[in-house]
Amino acid sequence: MISLSMRDRIIKEVANGMMKISVFAKVSGVSIKTLRYYDELGLLRPAHVDEQSGYRYYSEEQLLTVKRIASYKEQGFTLEQLKAFFDEDIGTDVVKNKLADKMTELRHAMQTLQLQLAEVNSRMSRLEPSEAGDSAGFIRIREVPSQLAASIRDQAPRSQLCLLLDEITKYATSYGEEEASQLTILWHDPGSENADIADIEVAIPITRDIPVNGRVRVDYLPMLQSAASLVHRCDPYGYSCPVAPELKAWISSQGLVQSDREPIREIYLTSDKDIYGKKRPAELLIPLQGNAL
């Protein structure tokens, strides 16, 4: 709100036909910093600058320029774009072309926003079914169905796990497969968890047969009749599962026996782009001997 003293000052300066920048800022609703920036761009130069004091003075008529700038900005024009509208000799055809260009620009921006909105909505829907799997510490025994998958198996440092996951994801998506949420890691050497080099297989579910090469194979991951399952939250940047000892201890306490015919599996329950926070939901699966269900 303008104080009484400032109001009197405004009335006095307007009556004199010139306003200092501080008064013009109050009257126009534009900050002093913005007015100086308009001056730098050549959009709104002061009507008069005192050579001795350097004070900037604005005229009453220049309020119209402020209103025009605000109007063009509401249409989406940048300050650089709207400068042309102040040219004295600008023709109607030029104005129409510039307005048409802005309409095209705004349509493209709307399309981008629609795509972003659809992606956010898609992520919201993917979060809903995963909420049940977000609870850490839930152990059960379940059957794991067979799944067609593309996979890479390699003897590699554990630190390269992320590279392998990225490689198999890019390979599958290059053949039109969607980036799956449930990437699977198969640890083929459970007895050497502390070794740097590991026998690792990474797999991504696919909907159809896709070409193979010397590194990528396509096959069905075997069905597991029964496996001990532990849903937990794991470090997305880690390359080993810290809850494996806990699940193995539970298996032993239940009088069950880990199978030596199938590798331990870890399934990421969300895709890489759906990680929020420091950890991602995952399921550790240790195959069991016989049918424990």
Contacts of 161 (CB under 8 A, 6+ apart): 185, 200, 202, 239
The CA distances from residue 112 to 108, 118, 119, 123, 203, in Å, are 6, 10, 11, 17, 33
In the DSSP assignment, the letter for residue 102 is H
Least confident residue range of 20-34, 98-112, 180-194, 230-244 = 180-194
User: Which residue shows structure tokens 């032993």?
Assistant: 252
CB 69 within 8 A of CB 44: yes
The tokens of 180 are what? Answer: 């799956």
In this prediction, residues 278-286 reach a mean pLDDT of: 91
Inform me whether the pLDDT recorded for 74 exceeds 80: yes
Inform me whether the pLDDT recorded for 292 exceeds 70: no
The CA distances from residue 110 to 42, 70, 104, 132, 273, in Å, are 31, 22, 10, 35, 23
CB 238 within 8 A of CB 148: no
Grade residue 196 by pLDDT with cuts at 50, 70 and 90.
confident
d(Cα 260, Cα 286) in Å, to the nearest integer?
A: 10
pLDDT digit string, tens, across residues 87-100: 888 899 999 999 99
pLDDT digit string, tens, across residues 218-270: 999 999 999 999 999 888 787 777 888 999 999 999 999 999 899 999 999 88
pLDDT digit string, tens, across residues 95-142: 999 999 999 999 999 999 999 998 888 877 766 554 444 455 789 999
Inform me whether the pLDDT recorded for 145 exceeds 80: yes
d(Cα 217, Cα 259) in Å, to the nearest integer?
A: 24
Grade residue 280 by pLDDT with cuts at 50, 70 and 90.
confident
What is the reported pLDDT for 133? 47
What is the reported pLDDT for 136? 57
Domains of the chain: 4-87 (1.10.1660.10), 139-287 (3.20.80.10)
CB 9 within 8 A of CB 24: no
Amino acid letter, 204: I
Mean pLDDT of the chain: 87
